[in-house]
Amino acid sequence: MVHGLEKINNIIAAEEEALMSLSREIHSHPELGDQEFYAVQILCDYLAAKGFAVEKEIAGQKTAFIARRRGGAGEGGLHIAFCAEYDALPEIGHACGHNLIAGASVAAAVALAGTDPGVPFTVSVIGTPNEEGRGGKIDLIRAGVFEGVDLAMMFHPDYISCVDYPSLACRTFSFTFHGENAHASGNPWDGRNALDAVILTFNGINALRQQLRDDVRIHGIITDGGQAINVIPDRAAAEFCIRSMDNRYLGEVVEKVLNCARGASLATGTGLSIAETEYPYDAMLTNRVLGQIFWDSLKEVSEEEWNERKEEVGAGSTDMGNVSLVVPSIQPLVAITDREVAVHTAEFARLCGTPQAYKVMLEVGKAMALAGYKVLRNPALLERIKEEFVKRTGSVRQRE
Ligand SMILES: [Zn+2]
Ligand SMILES: [Zn+2]
């Protein structure tokens, strides 16, 4: 095992400047989802120079790519993928630290590809666009990009560290009600009020909350509330996001929420059109065996005192959740700061461009490479990873 770690350390030491410069460049040129052309260009140029076969614009996405390299001697073997995100947020730039995710995944791939675990293998970087928006990984899954991948890894920077934390399955719907205009004072009895239907939908959902489990989140906005105060609105619309830790329970809650809108439509005599406006995100199913291998590896490659702070993690949603249902996956949170600075803030964006952040990024890159190396060396680990994956995904009823 020492041999693998030494090799990984040597490769990262030699590539340190180049890897930090990639991440720094992405940080200082923030690009929104599906517009990450500069990030994709520099990542792919670097990977091609390191012997990776690069395919761009995959799965019909202009800023998705896969870069593959063979390792070890012979044919076949495992395929280990590292996912790279690189999209930024409007106004506040790399406030989610995706420049560090890209840097760590590229570091891990280059380091792992240079090891010799004694078996043949494939290592790839899968470039996944627009995580903050529509969830580019979902198109990649649908296009079959993850078929044949045995393990998928990436990390997410944070102010706390935690390998297995809750993330929520999430579905987004718009409700548009179609009523009848009338003068709001002259002949209101001739109208059918679409805005009332929206308000009744909110009230119905608020009444529903008492009967829902604690892990459910429902949040909505009115996207069209009518145009003139003296006209009964013939059109009004709202958009809702519905989340739960449990993919199966989420399906039940969605049906109840849709019924709130249907009831409002009936009560007001308005027509209703329902549209699912975003891809459904699945709850992240962290592979605990792989997560433990990563965590042990992080302690081996780093001199930091790493501590998990599980109970403090607030739950969002990620398209890596969808990947975790098709391939054993991890997305550990790793702290890049000692201060409590939340992601999606201007201060976090600043922290994602500091020497401390780049140091953590390289250590995570090494740890992910070492985790991959350990699995390649030890088939019993892979057995345990796959056994857990089959057991836990079997109990998640997928929607499709
Ligand atoms: Zn984010
Ligand atoms: Zn993020």
Q: How far apart are the CA of 157 and the centre of ligand 2, in A?
A: 8
Q: How far apart are the CA of 35 and the centre of ligand 2, in A?
A: 16
pLDDT tens-digit readout, 279-292: 999 999 999 999 99
Give me the chain's average pLDDT, please: 95
Q: How far apart are the CA of 316 and the centre of ligand 1, in A?
A: 9
Q: How far apart are the CA of 331 and the centre of ligand 1, in A?
A: 13
Cα distance between residue 33 and residue 136, in whole Å? 9
Q: How far apart are the CA of 96 and the centre of ligand 1, in A?
A: 5
For 168, phi then psi, to 5°, come to: -100, 135
Q: How far apart are the CA of 156 and the centre of ligand 2, in A?
A: 6
Provide the pLDDT for residue 74. Answer: 86
- Nearest ligand for residue 132 CA: 1
Share of the chain above pLDDT 70, in %: 98
pLDDT at 397 over 50: no
Q: How far apart are the CA of 69 and the centre of ligand 1, in A?
A: 29
pLDDT at 367 over 90: yes
- Domains 2-166+284-394 and 169-276 equal at CATH topology level: no
Cα distance between residue 259 and residue 148, in whole Å? 40
pLDDT at 268 over 60: yes
For 233, phi then psi, to 5°, come to: -65, 130
Provide the pLDDT for residue 232. Answer: 97
Provide the pLDDT for residue 73. Answer: 85
Cα distance between residue 289 and residue 153, in whole Å? 13
Cα distance between residue 89 and residue 133, in whole Å? 9
pLDDT tens-digit readout, 10-28: 999 999 999 999 999 999 9
Q: How far apart are the CA of 101 and the centre of ligand 2, in A?
A: 8
Q: How far apart are the CA of 130 and the centre of ligand 2, in A?
A: 10
Contact 8, 369 (CB under 8 A): yes
- Nearest ligand for residue 101 CA: 2
For 199, phi then psi, to 5°, come to: -65, -40
Q: How far apart are the CA of 316 and the centre of ligand 2, in A?
A: 10
Q: How far apart are the CA of 152 and the centre of ligand 1, in A?
A: 19
Q: How far apart are the CA of 131 and the centre of ligand 1, in A?
A: 7
Average pLDDT, integer, range 82-107: 98
Alpha helical stretches, state H, 29-151: 37-49, 98-113, 136-142
Alpha helical stretches, state H, 35-176: 37-49, 98-113, 136-142
pLDDT at 398 over 50: no
Domain boundaries, the chain: 2-166+284-394, 169-276
pTM: 0.90
Q: How many residues does the chain have?
A: 400
- Nearest ligand for residue 156 CA: 2
Q: How far apart are the CA of 235 and the centre of ligand 1, in A?
A: 33
Reference 61, options 119, 115, 134, 164; nearest CA is 134
> What distance, in Å, lies between the first and last C-alpha atoms of the chain?
42
CATH of domain 169-276: 3.30.70.360
Q: How far apart are the CA of 97 and the centre of ligand 2, in A?
A: 6
Residue 396 banded pLDDT, cuts 50, 70, 90: low
Provide the pLDDT for residue 194. Answer: 98
Q: How far apart are the CA of 254 and the centre of ligand 2, in A?
A: 25
- Nearest ligand for residue 90 CA: 1
- Nearest ligand for residue 133 CA: 1
Q: How far apart are the CA of 314 and the centre of ligand 1, in A?
A: 13
pLDDT at 197 over 80: yes
Q: How far apart are the CA of 82 and the centre of ligand 2, in A?
A: 15
Provide the pLDDT for residue 166. Answer: 84
Q: How far apart are the CA of 383 and the centre of ligand 2, in A?
A: 30
pLDDT at 209 over 50: yes
Establish how many alpha carbons lie within 13 A of residue 10's alpha carbon, considering only the half-sphere containing its beta carbon: 9
Comparing 75 with 352, the larger pLDDT belongs to: 352
C-beta neighbour count of 229 within 10 angstroms: 7
- Nearest ligand for residue 157 CA: 2
Question: 97-106, 120-129, 256-265, 275-284 — which is least confidently predicted?
Answer: 275-284
pLDDT tens-digit readout, 48-91: 999 999 999 999 999 999 999 999 888 899 999 999 999 999 99
Residue 309 banded pLDDT, cuts 50, 70, 90: confident
- Nearest ligand for residue 98 CA: 2
Cα distance between residue 281 and residue 363, in whole Å? 29
pLDDT at 399 over 90: no
Question: 32-36, 179-183, 273-277, 305-309 — which is least confidently predicted?
Answer: 305-309
Residue 316 banded pLDDT, cuts 50, 70, 90: confident
Provide the pLDDT for residue 1. Answer: 52
pLDDT tens-digit readout, 333-343: 999 999 999 99
Q: How far apart are the CA of 345 and the centre of ligand 1, in A?
A: 10
Domain 2-166+284-394 class, CATH top level: alpha beta
pLDDT tens-digit readout, 237-251: 999 999 999 989 999
pLDDT tens-digit readout, 145-185: 999 999 999 999 999 999 998 899 999 999 999 999 999 99
